[in-house]
Amino acid sequence: MPLTKFPRAQRSILITVMAAVVVGYFGCSGKAPEPTAAKKPPVPLLSEASVRLSNDPGKTEVFRDAGLGLFIHWGPNSQVGTEISWPLYNASDDYIRKYYNLAATFNPTAFDPAEWARLAKLAGMEYVVFTAKHHDGFCMFDTELSDFKITRTPYGRDIAGMVAEAFRKEGFLVGFYYSPGDFRYQWETGKRTGHIYEPDFESPALFGPKQKSFVDYERGQIEELLTRYGDIFMLWFDGKCEPLKKHAWRVRQDVFIGRGEIPTPEQEIPGQAADYAWESCLTTSYQWSYLPGAEVRPAAEIIENLIHIRARGGNMLLNIGPRPDGRIAPADEDLLRDLSLWMMLYGEAVRGVRPWVVTNEGDVWFTQKRSEGTVYALAGLEKNSRSLILKSVAALPETRVTLLGQEGDCPWEQTPAGLKITVTRKQTIRLVKAPAGPDEKSESSDKQRLTWGPDWPVALKITKAKPAAGIGK
């Protein structure tokens, strides 16, 4: 019966009772009507006709000046020390389920991105590239387009966002690695191709909470990465990426594309100098993701690699694989601290530089700052001293030669054979164990034999210099 058929007094009582019933129902159930979610406005895109399909020239020079970056491969797989993603290649369904179930126990409670950023800054690094999504499809960011993500693990926090914020506070250029290949999509939609690296941008199979086709799913994630995490300097696409690269530039025309637009050799240093942007990607050990008990490369090898790369005009992107609890492995930390010492002494010779007219004369390598007329010569010393004759460098009367990090000038003279420089390292940097002398037997005494080191290349700064006649033509 309609309420209007009841007398006024009875209507008042009935309304009060009905209200109490409704409130009591929702109060006991702990539920209330959910408000309709406000539809987010679409991300504004540049038109297809106006987007520039290449890197911004200014950003390219900023990237080349930076020179040294930190690469970070990390995910739930670190709990068992396997390589990231690749164990899924040719794996059984049983193994795939076990690999994906690792997300249920991933809880890096010791993760401190500010500590990572401070250490990387000490090591002279100026940009970071963090794995937002690798080939396995696991997202280290809080995407709305997939449930296979860090915020659905016991840890439950947006790690990519934390990394971006911490490194940006230390002055880093922030970049995200993104794999166009997504084996999780292939596996869940029944479109498994057998190879986890290959994306099928034409696949119409719907995926994820938003039920998107493959290319729309990935375009949506690119929009998330470029609009939710502050100033993202770089995207690094590991695989075929044309639709995604174009879409990224439509979202942010000035975002710098690393792999996918510039050469990025892995575990290799090209043999020739190139005066354009390129990047050599090297690991501290021999696996990209965390490897228990890994033997890392000696600091001298990493330093020499950096010198050779910068002399040839490239950048070095040095990779670490953090432990499952979020800490940097001790061996990696020690290596980065060694690199910190070398960069503290000689980093000027590899920052903001370009190739000299020759890359090297034997074991002496060169970089230059063109606008300043400054040349850097990087070379090893024999017992803290050495005499060099540089054929490619000509000095002027006002030229100065100094050993970076050490007071005073190095003696030099311009000779018919080239620029002769006498180098003597007098600065006391670090105590190292000295080898036994030729007349001593190591077992004859318990006396410690110490000397000043370390035995790494040094950097000479040569100002007001020019190419020697006939060089570089």
Which pLDDT does position 32 carry in this prediction? 40
- For residue 184, the tally of other CB atoms under 10 A from its CB is 23
Mean pLDDT of the chain: 90
Strand, coil or helix: 130: strand
pLDDT in tens, 139-175: 999 999 999 999 999 999 999 999 999 999 999 999 9
Model confidence pLDDT, tens digit, residues 88-123: 999 999 999 999 999 999 999 999 999 999 999 999
**Fold of domain 360-435+449-467:** Immunoglobulin-like (2.60.40)
Confidence (pLDDT) at 63:
98
pLDDT value of residue 226: 98
> CA–CA separation, 19 vs 89, rounded Å?
60
Kindly tell me if the per-residue pLDDT of 13 is higher than 50: no
pLDDT, residue 425, reads 93
pLDDT of residue 26: 32
Q: Which part of the chain is CATH 3.20.20.80? A: 57-349
Question: Residue 361 — very low, low, confident or very high, per pLDDT cuts 50/70/90?
Answer: very high
pLDDT digits (tens, 9 = 90+) for 71-85: 999 999 999 999 999
pLDDT of residue 21: 36
Grade residue 31 by pLDDT with cuts at 50, 70 and 90. very low
Among 34-43, 280-289, 364-373, 430-439, the range scoring the smallest mean pLDDT is 34-43
Cβ-contact 277, 321 below 8 angstroms: no
pLDDT at 449: 74
pLDDT at position 441: 60
Secondary structure (3-state) at 54: coil
Q: Per-residue pLDDT for 28 more than 60?
A: no
445 — pLDDT class (breaks 50, 70, 90)? low
Q: What is the pLDDT of residue 23?
A: 34
- Calculate the CA dihedral of residues 332, 336, 337, 343 and round it to 10 degrees: 170
DSSP string computed for 378-447:
EE--BTTEEEEEESSEEE-TT--EEETTSSSBPPEEEETTEEEEEEE-----EEEEPPPPTT--GGG---
Indicate the CATH number for domain 57-349. Answer: 3.20.20.80
Q: How far apart are CA 129 and CA 305, in angstroms?
A: 19
Percentage above 70 pLDDT, the chain:
89
CA-only gyration radius of the chain, Å:
29
pLDDT at 134: 98
Flag whether pLDDT at 242 surpasses 50. yes
CATH 2.60.40 segments of the chain: 360-435+449-467
Strand positions, DSSP E, 56-107: 68-72
